[in-house]
Amino acid sequence: MSLTLKHMRYFIAAAETGQVSHAAMELNISQSAVTTGIQSLEASLGARLLTRSATGVSVTPQGARFLSRAKAIISAVEEATRSPLGEETQVSGRLRLGLTYTVAGYFMARHYAAFRRIYPGIMLELSEQPRAAIENALVSGGLDLAVMLTSNLANVGDLASETLFRSRRRLWLPSDHHLLSKTQITLADVAREPYVMLTVDEASRTAGRYWDHYGLVPEVVFSTSSVEAVRSMVAAGMGVTILSDMVYRPWSLEGQRIEQRQTVEPVPSMDVGLTWPNAIPLSASAQVFRNFITTALGSGS
C-alpha cells in the first residue's frame, strides 16, 4: 500500500486539531474517511502515528517525527503549484465556470481563492445555475467548464465529465433518536420515520431513484431547498433524512447534535466533478483549472 498526499493531509489535520471529528469538518469529508486514511497511512509506514482516547487523538513519538516530514512534503507540493513550472502559470484569459448550488456552497470557495492567487492572469467568472441550465450552456458555448454533481449528469452524449470525488450518503438523525440503538438500520426502518426531504440540486429526484429501487416510499413531512433547514429540523427531532457527507455538519445552527449512520442497503454516492462539451476542446484557461483542481484534491496521488 503506497503513501498518498490525501492520507498525509488527513493525518496532519487530525494531529493538529487533536480530534478526528474536527479534522473531518476541516477537510469537508466524513470521520470514517479520515480514520480509514490514517489507518492506511500507519499500515504503509508500519508505525502507530496517533493514540486514540475518549477525549481525542494525540501524536506518538513516531507520529511527531513523521508529522514534520509530512508537513514538509505537503508544503513542497503546494509551493510547486504556486511556483512557475512553465508556460501554464503564464496563461491569461477568461474562464466561464458553471457551479451547481451544492458545489457553490460547500466546495468551491477555498479552491476559488487558491486558484486566483496562483493564476492571477486568468479571470474566473463563476455562475451558479441548475444542472439542466449548466448542461445547455456548456453545449451552446455559454460556459467553458462546470463543477457540478456529475452523478446527476443527463446529457452524456454531448458532454464529457471527470469525477473528482464521491461523497457517501448516510442517514442523519437527532442525537436521541431510537434508531441509534439498533446495530443495523434498514431503509425500511427509515421509511417508517418522518422524513425531511431536501429538494435543491435535484436531491429529491435522486432520492426517489434509490427509494424506488428498493420499493419503498419515505414519509415526507416537509420538503425544503435549504440544507440548513434540513439540518435544524433533523436536530430538533422533526424527522430524519439521508444526505451526503459533503454537506454534513455534526451541529445545527441552534447547537443541537446530529448523528450519522449507514443503512444496510447501499445508497448511491453524490459525485462531484468537472463537465465540459465534447465538441469543443478545452481552452488553455479551462485546462489550467482542470489541472489545478485535480492536483488540489490529490487525484492520482
The CATH number for 150's domain is 3.40.190.10
Which of the four pLDDT bands, split at 50, 70 and 90, describes residue 298?
low
Last residue of a domain, one of 82, 104, 133: 82
**Euclidean distance between CA atoms 81 and 74, whole angstroms:** 11
269 DSSP 8-state letter: -
Looking at per-residue confidence, does 137 or 117 come out higher?
137
- Are 127 and 151 part of one and the same domain? yes
89 DSSP 8-state letter: G
Question: Does any domain span residue 258?
Answer: yes
Exposure string over 88-105, b if 16+ CB within 10 A, otherwise e: ebebeeebbbbbbbbbbb
Question: Does any domain span residue 301?
Answer: no
Q: What is the mean pLDDT of the chain?
A: 89
- Are 285 and 149 part of one and the same domain? yes
| Phi/psi of residue 171, nearest 5 degrees | -75, 135
Q: What is the pLDDT of residues 90-135, one digit of tens each?
A: 788 999 999 999 999 998 988 898 898 889 999 999 999 999 999 9
* pLDDT of amino acid 142: 96
Q: What is the pLDDT of residues 237-268, one digit of tens each?
A: 999 999 998 898 888 888 899 999 999 999 99
Range ranked top by mean pLDDT from 6-10, 93-97, 109-113, 166-170: 93-97
SS3 assignment, position 100: coil
- Are 147 and 284 part of one and the same domain? yes
- Are 18 and 71 part of one and the same domain? yes
The domain in which residue 31 lies consists of: 5-82
**Euclidean distance between CA atoms 230 and 33, whole angstroms:** 23
Inter-CA distances, 100 with 97, 173, 209, 231, Å: 10, 26, 20, 20
Could you tell me whether strands 159-167 and 270-277 are parallel, antiparallel, or unpaired per DSSP bridges?
antiparallel
- Are 102 and 29 part of one and the same domain? no
- Are 185 and 257 part of one and the same domain? yes
Which of the four pLDDT bands, split at 50, 70 and 90, describes residue 73?
confident
- Are 155 and 278 part of one and the same domain? yes
Number of structural domains the chain divides into:
3
Specify the CATH number for the domain of residue 58.
Answer: 1.10.10.10
**Euclidean distance between CA atoms 249 and 209, whole angstroms:** 25
